[in-house]
Amino acid sequence: MITSSQNAKLKLIRSLQGRPRERREAGAFLAEGVRLVEEALAAGWPFRFVLHNPELPERALKLLEQLKAKDIDVEQVETALLESISETETTQGILAVLESPEPELPDLESLNFVLITDQIRDPGNLGTLIRSAAAAGAQAVFIPPETVDAFSPKVVRAGMGAHFRLALCGLGWDSIRAYTRGLTVFLADAEGQTSCWAADFTAPLALIVGGEADGASESARKLANHRVNIPMPGKIESLNAAAAGAVLMFEVVRQRKM
């Protein structure tokens, strides 16, 4: 059992909770809570180690047995110590350090549905967008440098396991332009002239969703072929990025299922 706050594993966890640079240098990120660890295990994601409280509910105990059966390093930690490094108000008593992914971009010829997150700075919004993209069947999420780190703890929690289900690709705009060359690029824009209900989302496409505060970047505007709006008959000027992205991505699903 780990009883010292100076333990090397706890020090690593603290560093992974910090800036993206620490996560890149360590080649790892965090997944906290039973559901996220279950999702990572089901996806065959590479684990570095798992820490847990001495007392756990039955579901978590069953998960520990599954982890040990895979020869994953599992270690017990004093409850107070684990709570001290938890980023949730009520810890579920289990936390995993996972290896950072080496994303494999989908083959360009088969690429037909991509989300591009432009200047999304709120971790909750990005995590929810990633979750919606996975649910809608997107093949990849392209994440420009101006967007919050997709593997920060808050984004991973908001993604609810979606990080393990589709390619998340940190790319510069030149690379994004190259990968979307064969796609029609739609930009979500409250000032767009085309309603999303009238746009044709049946052909291979990339959808750009920008941050609510700053709107679309110049790079996003240059890349877009069309700007689409979401009709809102109520007296609200805009939706947040996560809500707008979900509406648009599931309009893609609706049109392609017709």
**Percent of the chain's residues with pLDDT above 90:** 80
pLDDT digits (tens, 9 = 90+) for 100-111: 987 677 777 788
pLDDT computed for residue 102 by the predictor: 78
Q: Could you tell me which residues come within 8 angstroms of residue 60 by beta carbon, excluding any fewer than 6 positions away?
A: 34, 52, 92, 93, 94
pLDDT digits (tens, 9 = 90+) for 177-202: 999 999 999 999 988 889 999 999 99
pLDDT computed for residue 103 by the predictor: 66
Flag whether pLDDT at 126 surpasses 70: yes
pLDDT digits (tens, 9 = 90+) for 21-59: 999 999 999 999 999 999 999 999 999 999 999 989 999
Q: Are 96 and 31 in contact (CB under 8 A)?
A: yes
Q: How confident is the model at residue 258 (pLDDT cuts 50, 70, 90)?
A: low
pLDDT digits (tens, 9 = 90+) for 138-166: 999 999 999 999 999 999 999 999 999 99
pLDDT computed for residue 91 by the predictor: 74
List, in order of start, the domains of the chain with CATH numbers. 8-99 (3.30.1330.30), 108-257 (3.40.1280.10)
Q: Pick from 163, 34, 131: which is nearest to 90 by CA?
A: 34
Instruction: Give the three-class secondary structure for 159.
Output: helix
Sign, CA torsion 211/214/219/224:
positive
pLDDT computed for residue 104 by the predictor: 72
Q: Could you tell me which residues come within 8 angstroms of residue 94 by beta carbon, excluding any fewer than 6 positions away?
A: 32, 33, 34, 37, 50, 51, 52, 53, 56, 60, 63, 64
